[in-house]
Structure 1
Amino acid sequence: MKNLSLQWRITLMTALLIGATCIFMNVLIGYSGRHYMDSIGSHITGYEETGGEDPDFFDPRRERLDQELTIVIHGAQESFIATNWYITAAAALLGGVLAYFLSGHALKPLRTFAAQVEKVQPNNLTDTKIPEAVLPEFRQFSRSFNQMLDRLDSGFAAQRQFTGNAAHELRTPLSLMQAQLELFSAEHPEVSPETADFLRLLREQTERMTQMTKTLLEMSELRTVPCTERIEIGPMVEEIFTDLAPLAERKNITLKATGDGTMTGSDTLLYRLLYNLTENAIRYNRPDGTVHIAVAYEASCLHITVTDTGCGIPQPYRESIFQPFFRVDKSRSRENGGVGLGLSLAWEIVALHGGEIRVAESSEKGTTIAVSFPTDASAD
């Protein structure tokens, strides 16, 4: 019973109740029917025996009539009992079928609620509220759920505001630090090797913090970007390949693209999405490897896959790589200049467009990142 759905539990309990009621009624009706049939037979026999004739007179025809009457009564009793059991089984079965469909209709609001809950994402909290004009049993449930969504939306809004404010506050001093370091290096070209290494380290870390601040600021301002432009994915991929060609040439990475498609969204954000995915595929690839971007329509969705020939992502980390500041290999990420926000920003952009991003496949031969956008965000 623990593994059965609520609808099947209601169906089984209703069928058992109907079956028990029918069996009880069958027993009572069967007992009553046998009693009255025996009574009818005894009345008929008594009437014939008191018909005014000599009771000691033996009549073979009367004896044969009594036997035939007894056989008829017993046959009627057996037929009556069998019919009652057939009716009982049919009533229990019909009651179970009706209970299944009626309980399914009664549980429809619960299924609607479950489907609505599955659609909840951090970027659509206000759009997934449940109407409170429902059954009285679900009204308080809906009200509580909507209030929870309001609290979550307020929390995420406060988090975005804090991130944006912090990024704004950090951007100015970091820019000043960069300018001062460059000025100092230009005015003091002949410094000791130790000082030169120290200045280089400061410039690298300042540049890294500047990039992180820029990405945080972009993530906090995603919701303000309109997503109403008509975008051709093929030309965008070619533009990204052109921009990343120097990085690919340093590692002798071959860039390939197949397919094309159009969708509605933000040109700036989708460019950043594909740029981040392609850049990651190049940075964490093997020398003389390949990066392949494929665009295709499948199952009424626009699918974009980015495949590399790197060392792969371990199974436990495939869901975590889209979290902010998460790194599979911290040492390699720092060597490549990453700040741990590229894939997190990609996830935010995909979610803003109503799509889904995931690690479709990963092994020692490479990794495939799959991005899909629903029909309402794409077009043939």
Structure 2
Amino acid sequence: MKDLSLQWRITLMTAALVCAACLSTNFLVGYSGMQYMDEIGSEVSAYGNVNEDIPKSFDPGSEDVGNELTIVVSDAQKSFGVTSWYITALVTLIGGVLAYFASGRALRPLRAFAAQIEHVQPGNLADSKISEDVLPEFKRFSESFNGMIHRLDAGFAAQRQFSGNAAHELRTPLALMQTQMELFAVEHPDVPPATNDLLTLLRDQTERMSSMTSTLLEMSELRAIPCNDEIELAPLIEEVLADLAPLADQKGIALACRGNNLVNGSDPLMYRMMFNLVENAIRYSRPASTVDVTVDEEDDRVLVRIEDEGFGIPEQHRDSVFQPFFRVDKSRSREYGGVGLGLSLVWEIATLHGGTIEVENSSSHGTVMLATLPKLGVTK
């Protein structure tokens, strides 16, 4: 019973009630009907016995006619009983069918509510509130849900504001440190090797922290960027591939792009999303391999697939790779550079454009990242 949906539970309970009501009615009506038939048979027999002037051939009280009448009444009782059972089964079946469709209609607001919950994402909380003009049974439910959405939205907003403020505060001292180290290296070209190694390490780590704070600042300011450009994907992706060609050439990786389509959005953000995805594919793909970017369409969506020939992503990590600072293999990520925010920024940009990003397929032969975006003219 626990595995049954609410609609089937209501249907089965209604059918059981209808069946119980029909059985009770069948028993009471059948019992009274049988009694009346017996009384009618007795009355007819008695009536024939008191009318002696009627010829015997027409005498309903005669022995032969009485037996025939008893048989007719008995057959009528059996037929009445069988017919009543058929009617009971038919009424129960019809009642169950009507209950199924009636309960389905009554539960339609709940289905709509569940469908809306499925589309709730951290990036669209403000647009996920449901109308409170609903049935009385769902009113408190909708009020509680909207209150939860408001609290979550406020929490995410505070988190974004903290990240932005922290990035702003860190950017200036990091830039100052980079400038001072570069100036020191120019003014002291003959420093000992140990000091030079230390300065190189400090410059690399400072540059890495600067890159991280810049990305955090971008993520905190995404919502302020308008997304109303008409973007043709093929030229944008070709530009991305041209910019990343030197990195691909270092590993002997061939870059290819197929397909085209139009989407709504921010041209700089869309460029950044594609750049991060292709750069990530190049960095983790095997040397002398290929990175393919294909653009397809399906119904009202545009599908962009970035396929590499890397070592793959373990299945248990395929949802986690879009979390900030998450690394599947920390040692390899350090070797290839990056701060663990590239795919997180991609996820934020895709969500801002009303789309999604996911690992469509991954194995030891490579990974396919799938970005899904609304087609031009389609409401997010």
Query: What range is the shorter-chain TM-score in?
Result: over 0.9
2:226 aligns to what SS in structure 1?
A: coil
Equivalence map 1:1-380=2 (5 Å): 1-52=1-52, 62-375=62-375
2:302 aligns to what SS in structure 1?
A: strand
8 Å CA contact 1:262–1:378 kept in 2: the answer is: no
8 Å CA contact 1:126–1:149 kept in 2: the answer is: yes
2:321 aligns to what SS in structure 1?
A: coil
* Residue 50 (structure 1) shift: 2.5
8 Å CA contact 1:293–1:304 kept in 2: the answer is: yes
8 Å CA contact 1:265–1:377 kept in 2: the answer is: no
* Residue 49 (structure 1) shift: 1.8
Which whole-Å CA distance do the structure 1 matches of 2:118 and 2:225 have between them?
A: 25
| CA displacement, residues 288-310 of structure 1 (integer Å, 9 cap, x when unaligned) | 11111001112331000000111
* Residue 106 (structure 1) shift: 1.0
Distance 1:127 1:60, change over 3 A: closer
Which whole-Å CA distance do the structure 2 matches of 1:72 and 1:285 have between them?
A: 92
8 Å CA contact 1:354–1:377 kept in 2: the answer is: no
* Residue 60 (structure 1) shift: 11
In the superposition, the TM-score normalised over structure 2's length comes to 0.96
Which whole-Å CA distance do the structure 1 matches of 2:225 and 2:21 have between them?
A: 65
8 Å CA contact 2:41–2:69 kept in 1: the answer is: yes
| CA displacement, residues 197-243 of structure 1 (integer Å, 9 cap, x when unaligned) | 11100000000000000000000001001010000110111111111
| CA displacement, residues 244-263 of structure 1 (integer Å, 9 cap, x when unaligned) | 11111111111111111110
Which whole-Å CA distance do the structure 1 matches of 2:278 and 2:17 have between them?
A: 63
1:321 aligns to what SS in structure 2?
A: helix
8 Å CA contact 1:318–1:359 kept in 2: the answer is: yes
1:325 aligns to what SS in structure 2?
A: coil
Distance 1:62 1:376, change over 3 A: farther
| Residue identity opposite 1:250 in structure 2 | Q
* Residue 374 (structure 1) shift: 3.0
8 Å CA contact 2:48–2:60 kept in 1: the answer is: no
| Residue identity opposite 2:195 in structure 1 | T
8 Å CA contact 1:353–1:377 kept in 2: the answer is: no
2:320 aligns to what SS in structure 1?
A: coil
| Residue identity opposite 1:167 in structure 2 | A
Which whole-Å CA distance do the structure 2 matches of 1:366 and 1:155 have between them?
A: 37
Distance 1:60 1:351, change over 3 A: closer
| Number of aligned residue pairs | 375
1:304 aligns to what SS in structure 2?
A: strand
Distance 1:376 1:128, change over 3 A: farther
Which whole-Å CA distance do the structure 1 matches of 2:229 and 2:330 have between them?
A: 37
8 Å CA contact 2:262–2:375 kept in 1: the answer is: no
Which whole-Å CA distance do the structure 2 matches of 1:335 and 1:52 have between them?
A: 121
Which whole-Å CA distance do the structure 1 matches of 2:44 and 2:101 have between them?
A: 50
Structure 2 gap ranges (5+): none
Taking only aligned residues, the RMSD between alpha carbons, in angstroms, comes to 1.6
Which whole-Å CA distance do the structure 2 matches of 1:6 and 1:21 have between them?
A: 22
Structure 1 gap ranges (5+): none
Which whole-Å CA distance do the structure 1 matches of 2:61 and 2:145 have between them?
A: 85
Which whole-Å CA distance do the structure 2 matches of 1:60 and 1:140 have between them?
A: 73
Distance 1:376 1:130, change over 3 A: farther
8 Å CA contact 1:22–1:88 kept in 2: the answer is: yes
Which whole-Å CA distance do the structure 2 matches of 1:53 and 1:234 have between them?
A: 111
Which whole-Å CA distance do the structure 1 matches of 2:375 and 2:229 have between them?
A: 16
| Residue identity opposite 1:364 in structure 2 | S
1:361 aligns to what SS in structure 2?
A: strand
* Residue 375 (structure 1) shift: 4.1
206-215 or 357-366, which deviates more: 357-366
Which whole-Å CA distance do the structure 2 matches of 1:11 and 1:279 have between them?
A: 55
Which whole-Å CA distance do the structure 2 matches of 1:134 and 1:77 have between them?
A: 53
* Residue 51 (structure 1) shift: 2.6
| CA displacement, residues 324-376 of structure 1 (integer Å, 9 cap, x when unaligned) | 00001111111222100000000010011111111111111111101111346
Which whole-Å CA distance do the structure 2 matches of 1:88 and 1:15 have between them?
A: 11
Which whole-Å CA distance do the structure 2 matches of 1:117 and 1:282 have between them?
A: 36
8 Å CA contact 1:321–1:327 kept in 2: the answer is: yes
Which whole-Å CA distance do the structure 2 matches of 1:8 and 1:71 have between them?
A: 46
| CA displacement, residues 159-215 of structure 1 (integer Å, 9 cap, x when unaligned) | 111100000000000000000000000111111111111110000000000000000
Which whole-Å CA distance do the structure 2 matches of 1:301 and 1:53 have between them?
A: 96
| Residue identity opposite 2:307 in structure 1 | T
